[in-house]
A and B are shown apart, each in its own frame.
Chain A
Amino acid sequence: MADALTHHCPNCGGPLTFNPSDQKFHCDYCLSIFTVEDIEKFEAKNSETPTETRSETTDSAETTSGDIDLFLCPSCGAQIVTDHTTAATYCYFCHNPVVLSGRLTGEFLPSKVLPFKIDRQKAVSDFLTWTQKKRFVPKDFFNEQQIEKMTGVYFPYWIVDAETSGNLTGKGTSLRVWIVGEIEYTETKVYQIFRKGKTKINHLTKNALKKNLQQKMVEGVQPFPIDQAVDFHTEYLSGFQAEKRDIEIKDLAEQIDHELTEYTEELLRDTVSGYTTFTPSNQSVDVEKQDNHYMLLPVWLVTYQDASNKTYYYAMNGQTGKVSGILPISNKRLGFFSVGIFAAILAIAMIVGYFL
């Protein structure tokens, strides 16, 4: 059954949270700092007298009704209401970070996690810098006071590493034109082209949360530096929200297969160069090996309210700081700029036309 747990400080017993700036775990009470190993060692030693308070959720503790689940907070015992997919959150009452570790075990144990690298402060300032670079939003649309909420969330993703083999046949022509006197000669050479090769496709990233399918902004913060992902420990989640996957790899199989095929074909096509025209006649691709990794990747979600209380949502990559989201447009600013472009190009065209 699902367990709710809070990682506690070995020194004082206060809750530990992950700090993105030094990639270590901080106790807000006694200001101690720990690494993953420290905590693991400590928790292993004390497994009989648990500092890692587990509230073993029995049938009575976890009641499932519709889309929401109930957990008991390991610190204060209050009920925590969560979605089906929530894997880490805060207790609403005592504000202790709670990891629903049961949601991340067995087949749902992520193979890796990419920890946050950007902390809250940097996220806010990065977000504001990003907005200042946007020239066509209404003036004064963005300021720090209007950031309603900034939430760090680990979202579930499928990372696919694959090896494919493919071949490509086709006809290429190359033209050569030269002129002798009044006669123009055109030489056409026709080539039979064949390419065969193996492709390694790394880190094809696929969203594994249905909630995010409609969210282009979450899609827009990619790519994540998958290489920097570390082995999964629940400690990384404490202090953040986390979601578990609700899209299985088999649901994506067709789409992934299609993409792998497409990329292999494109890469093979890229090797055909130096021809005037190329017409492929036959191509085939086999996916020889496919490794799927279930990973949790970090995203900051920003809820923003403008002066007229309209709410906007933005997402920021927790590692690279890339921001994405629907921006309001100042038609006046954009219009003026467009008219400027119009005038400039017209002027250049007229000058060129005059001297031609």
Chain B
Amino acid sequence: MKKLLLFLGVLALFTPLKVFAASDTVDDQANLLSPEERTELSKQADAINEEIKGEVFILTTNTNTEEPREFANTQLKARIGKDNNGALLLLDMNQREIYLSTSGNMIDYVTDKRRDKLLDDVEAAMRDSNYYLASTNYLSNTKEFVNDGIPGGSYRKDEKTGKITYYKSITPLEFAIGLIVALVAAIGFFISVRLRYQLKTGTYRYPYRQNAQLDLTERQDQLVNSFVTTRRIPKPSNHNGGGGGSTTNSSGGGTFGGGGRSF
């Protein structure tokens, strides 16, 4: 027992494998942020990185001429690799575009609905030319989404093929139900075997269905009343999976989510 505890203790020491912010967490090519602001944002990003076991980035540019989505996806893939967990916010000053690219589990965290909320906040700040606020809005929104978890019944919908893939997970409720069912079955089995072994249950009962015959001499089933009731079936309320889904697109072999708009 002691050994086991020790082992767990050692394990606990190593588990918070810190995902240290890469130096390019905030890549401010357009020079919109002060060094202090970058440090502060990196710190906030670190907190999220630990949660999602991936990395989030902010990239500003004033030289890009590529399509923002293409550029953001490529940049994100270059930083984390194909289909790994992560998100990147592109602030393209040249084309006056903002674009959020998500990959891995971030696609599921940032559903279309959440993405629009995030972009609303970022866009408002960008219109005021408050770049630091735009960046913190992005991070705080992301953090909030991650903390809220993936909404139940969430799905991914491929932009081109329209193929829907449901996000599979075990919700705490499902886990609790499973746990209770298993517990009841195991305890029930334990107790029933004990009772049977101690002859508390399962002793002989006269099998009257086998040993007795019934001859019916009279049998009547008389219809005395019949009526029909009607009911309007209530329309199923349109809770289409609650959180809705995330639209995904593929580029360069990887799958990305997200979206953008101009400011």
* Chain A interface (Cβ < 8 Å from any Cβ of B): 134, 136-137, 167, 172, 179, 182-205, 216-217, 219-223, 259, 263-264, 266-268, 270-271, 324-329, 334-335, 337-339, 341-346, 349-350, 352-356
Contacts of A342 on B, CB cut-off 8 Å?
182-183, 185-186
B14 within 8 Å of A (CB atoms): no
B12 within 8 Å of A (CB atoms): no
B216 within 8 Å of A (CB atoms): yes
CA distance A326 to B216 in the complex (A): 42
B23 within 8 Å of A (CB atoms): no
Contacts of B168 on A, CB cut-off 8 Å?
354-355
**Smallest Cβ distance from B101 to chain A, in angstroms?**
28
B3 within 8 Å of A (CB atoms): no
Q: Which are the 6 A-B pairs with shortest beta-carbon distances?
A: A349-B178, A353-B174, A342-B186, A196-B218, A345-B182, A263-B208
CA distance A232 to B147 in the complex (A): 84
CB-based contact B216/A345 at 8 Å: no
- Main secondary structure, interface of A, reads mixed
**Smallest Cβ distance from B110 to chain A, in angstroms?**
22
How many B residues touch A, CB cutoff 8 Å? 51
CA distance A190 to B224 in the complex (A): 6
CB-based contact A184/B170 at 8 Å: no
B223 within 8 Å of A (CB atoms): yes
CB-based contact A186/B228 at 8 Å: yes
For A179, the closest partner residue in chain B by CB is B233
CB-based contact A182/B232 at 8 Å: yes
CB-based contact B171/A270 at 8 Å: no
CB-based contact A187/B227 at 8 Å: yes
* Chain B interface (Cβ < 8 Å from any Cβ of A): 168-171, 174-175, 177-179, 181-183, 185-187, 189-190, 193-194, 197-199, 203-204, 206-209, 211-233
**Smallest Cβ distance from B194 to chain A, in angstroms?**
6
Partner of A267, one of B181, B212, B232: B212
For B211, the closest partner residue in chain A by CB is A202
CB-based contact A349/B182 at 8 Å: yes
Contacts of B175 on A, CB cut-off 8 Å?
350, 353
A-B contacts, 5 listed (Cβ < 8 Å)? A186-B230, A195-B218, A264-B212, A334-B190, A338-B189
Contacts of A267 on B, CB cut-off 8 Å?
208-209, 212, 214
CB-based contact B211/A204 at 8 Å: yes
CA distance A271 to B221 in the complex (A): 11
CB-based contact A201/B190 at 8 Å: no
- List 18 extra interface pairs beyond A197-B216, A329-B194, A341-B182, CB under 8 A: A167-B218, A182-B232, A183-B231, A183-B232, A183-B233, A187-B226, A188-B229, A191-B222, A194-B220, A198-B215, A216-B203, A267-B208, A271-B214, A326-B199, A338-B187, A341-B186, A346-B182, A353-B178
**Smallest Cβ distance from B90 to chain A, in angstroms?**
35
**Which of the listed residues B181, B185, B204 has the most CB atoms from chain A within 10 Å of its own CB?**
B204
**Smallest Cβ distance from B155 to chain A, in angstroms?**
14
Partner of A194, one of B178, B181, B194, B219: B219
For A325, the closest partner residue in chain B by CB is B199
Contacts of B224 on A, CB cut-off 8 Å?
190-192
A-B pair number, CB within 8 angstroms: 178
**Smallest Cβ distance from B119 to chain A, in angstroms?**
32
Contacts of A346 on B, CB cut-off 8 Å?
178-179, 182
CB-based contact B186/A345 at 8 Å: yes
**Which of the listed residues B174, B214, B227, B230 has the most CB atoms from chain A within 10 Å of its own CB?**
B214
**Smallest Cβ distance from A190 to chain B, in angstroms?**
4
CA distance A220 to B198 in the complex (A): 12
Partner of A326, one of B171, B189, B198, B215: B198
For A226, the closest partner residue in chain B by CB is B211
**Smallest Cβ distance from A252 to chain B, in angstroms?**
13
CB-based contact A184/B233 at 8 Å: yes
Partner of B208, one of A266, A354, A355: A266
Partner of B181, one of A137, A179, A349: A349
CB-based contact A350/B220 at 8 Å: no
Partner of B212, one of A136, A202, A220, A353: A202
Contacts of A195 on B, CB cut-off 8 Å?
216, 218-220
CB-based contact A220/B203 at 8 Å: yes
CB-based contact B212/A201 at 8 Å: yes
CA distance A194 to B216 in the complex (A): 11
CA distance A200 to B210 in the complex (A): 11
Contacts of B207 on A, CB cut-off 8 Å?
223
Given contacts A185-B229, A353-B170, contact A197 B217 (CB under 8 A): yes
CA distance A75 to B216 in the complex (A): 59
**Smallest Cβ distance from A237 to chain B, in angstroms?**
25
For A196, the closest partner residue in chain B by CB is B218
Contacts of A326 on B, CB cut-off 8 Å?
197-199
Given contacts A216-B199, A263-B208, A267-B208, contact A198 B229 (CB under 8 A): no
CA distance A202 to B222 in the complex (A): 32
Partner of A187, one of B169, B181, B212, B228: B228
CB-based contact A329/B197 at 8 Å: yes
Contacts of A191 on B, CB cut-off 8 Å?
221-224
CB-based contact A190/B186 at 8 Å: no
CB-based contact A334/B229 at 8 Å: no
Partner of B204, one of A182, A183, A219: A219
**Smallest Cβ distance from B179 to chain A, in angstroms?**
6
**Smallest Cβ distance from A349 to chain B, in angstroms?**
3
Contacts of A268 on B, CB cut-off 8 Å?
214
CB-based contact B221/A200 at 8 Å: no
CA distance A193 to B223 in the complex (A): 9
Given contacts A189-B223, A196-B218, A355-B168, contact A184 B230 (CB under 8 A): yes
